[in-house]
Chain A
Amino acid sequence: MAVTFNDTRMRDRIQLVFSLGIFALVALLPAIVRNEYWQGVLIVSMYFAMLAAAWNLLAGYTGQFSLAPAAFGMIGAYVTGLLSYHFNAPPLVGIPAAVVVSAAIGFGLGRIVLRLRGPYLALTTLSFAEICRLVISNSIEITRGDLGLSVPGIFDHRLTWYYVMLGVLVVIQLGLYFLLRAPAGLYLRAIRDDEIAAASRGVKIVLWKTNAFTLSAAISGLAGALYGHFAQFVSPELGLLSQTGIIVSMVVIGGLATLPGPIGGAFLVYVASEFLRDFGGYQLIVFALLVIIFARFFREGLWGFFRRAIERTGRRPAPAPSAAE
């Protein structure tokens, strides 16, 4: 039977299988990558993969082009960091608090930008992100400003971190898959495609847009909190616009509105950026150019190449029976 990507459910299922394939590959990587530095690079890639998956939910599946994903990562990191710094709160308290606070702020932002679209939405979320970063940067007595905060670690071994981050990423991805399979997935995609048509068919626009903002912020907050404890340091640099640029490039290069795209894109872009580190600021230029090329010519990102390859394989006619048969 020919493999078809036309059925939405089949499309999501194939994409989930591909995502799980990427995770399986990542799970096996420490057998080859024994260097702790490179294991660290892969852990940070997983942090970005969580942020990319969260942003993809909002921009790719709901059509809300927010420019605040890095800001929510920063908020999550600071919530657990500040609780630990000021109140000696353990990570078991700090991380859930980071998720709750990020979700609450995401909910608030979602309500504020509810009626905004396109460039207005992007500019408002960008302003929000910069305000958050500047408030943290200038609240020196509370946050120590640009000096950053030391945050306690959780695990002693890098490999433990590696598999915990991978486990969280798998759970997030499975959660997103089941969300997309549910009626909620239909509503989010309908809002993305045509908000007016969605409302005329009874979709509660306010509710689902706000839910998407809240969930995306919660995932980003969780990613930020985990990253803070892994790096044992948080600073306002986590919320820089350039960080958002990297997250956007990961999703666009991997494949916007696809499940494996942001995950594959995150590993590819972050590992590549490590190789390009010696070129300083030029690495950002390379990714910006790639984003332009992908956005212009390959809307489905790298996932599009895989999709076409699988479809070609599926369409290949079965070999003709031999003469002996």
Chain B
Amino acid sequence: MACLSIDSVSKFFGGHKALDDVTFSVNEGELVGLIGPNGSGKTTLLNILSGYLSADSGDIVLDGRPITGLRPEALARLGVLRMFQLTRVFPRMSVLDNLLVTGSALGLPEAEADGRARELIEDLTLTRMMHLDAGQLSGGQRKLLEFGSCFMVPPRIALLDEPFAAVHPTMKEIMAGVIRRRHAAGQTFLLVSHDMPVIVELCPRAICMNAGAVIADEKTRAVLTDPVVIEAYLGEAAA
């Protein structure tokens, strides 16, 4: 059953068509990799799915309910939780409070939110930094913290935009481990990444975008050997 359906979504920035009739769906419990060269429209699509941009045309449906045009906080409350490409944490709040914001805002009682935040902090190996302000963390630790925020309350779908970019391999493995475990438990993901080995390892299915359009949508290994995808990444000669 489709958890998220995207139907003919288009987006223009002035005369530039950033998204061109994008259509695909993500089934319940699926972990889908979204790949494509820079400027292919992946982040624009995630911005539309999480309510930061509105689509010029097309429909988005979550669990059978149209969500096109809803605001980010409303989407978060429906379970669409998003991690940004450029890390966004609350720099003048402690690591614990960063997580408690999400827990409280999404309706967890105080004690439960506190318990879950501490569990997540342990999972993400941030225990020693729990009471430090997020602004005092390293870039990789901030990524871990933002990643953790998406799981304070189990999301309907987690939209992860480049979680592995510019992070230490140890932290990458921590995030990959969390994704693996939660996927095994039935969590639905849409994962944007340029890290092909991780995409191959984690995602049974991948979607490739180029110039705002979906150019391939099938099993990950098949996508990565698709001449159209290779051409999009490396140019015509390589294909």
How far is it, in angstroms, between the C-alpha of A198 and the C-alpha of B131 when the chains are bound? 19
Q: Which residues of A contact B81 (CB under 8 A)?
A: 200-201
Q: Which residues of B contact A204 (CB under 8 A)?
A: 73, 105
Q: Which residues of B contact A280 (CB under 8 A)?
A: none
Contact of A189 among B71, B88, B92, B132 (CB under 8 A): B92
How far is it, in angstroms, between the C-alpha of A6 and the C-alpha of B52 when the chains are bound? 32
Contact status B73-A197, CB under 8 Å: no
Q: Which residues of B contact A200 (CB under 8 A)?
A: 50, 52, 72-73, 76, 81-82, 84, 88
Which A residues from 199 to 247 make CB contacts under 8 A with B?
Answer: 199-205
Task: Report A210 CB to chain B, min CB distance, Å.
Answer: 14
Q: What is the size category of the interface that chain B forms with chain A?
A: 20 to 34
Is A317 close to B, CB under 8 A?
no
Interface of chain B, main secondary structure: mixed
Interface of chain A, main secondary structure: helix
Q: Which of B89, B94, B101 has the most CB of A within 10 A?
A: B101
- Contact surface of B with A, Cβ cutoff 8 Å: 50-52, 71-73, 76-77, 81-82, 84, 88-94, 96-97, 100-102, 104-106, 110, 131-133, 146, 149
Nearest A residue (CB) for B102: A201
Assess A7 versus B94: contact at CB under 8 Å? Given A200-B76, A202-B76, A203-B73: yes
How far is it, in angstroms, between the C-alpha of A4 and the C-alpha of B72 when the chains are bound? 35
Nearest B residue (CB) for A207: B73
Contact status B97-A197, CB under 8 Å: no
- Contact surface of A with B, Cβ cutoff 8 Å: 4, 6-8, 183, 186-187, 189-190, 192-194, 196-205, 257
Q: Which 9 A-B pairs have the closest CB atoms?
A: A202-B76, A197-B88, A202-B105, A193-B90, A183-B104, A199-B72, A201-B102, A7-B131, A6-B131
Contact status B71-A199, CB under 8 Å: yes
Q: Which of A6, A187, A189 has the most CB of B within 10 A?
A: A6
Interface contact tally, CB-CB below 8 A: 87
How far is it, in angstroms, between the C-alpha of A205 and the C-alpha of B51 when the chains are bound? 14
Nearest A residue (CB) for B82: A200
Nearest B residue (CB) for A10: B131
Contact status A201-B97, CB under 8 Å: no
How far is it, in angstroms, between the C-alpha of A13 and the C-alpha of B110 when the chains are bound? 18
Assess A8 versus B101: contact at CB under 8 Å? Given A200-B50, A202-B77, A204-B73: no
Contact of A8 among B97, B104, B106 (CB under 8 A): B97
Nearest B residue (CB) for A186: B101
Q: Which residues of A contact B88 (CB under 8 A)?
A: 194, 196-197, 200
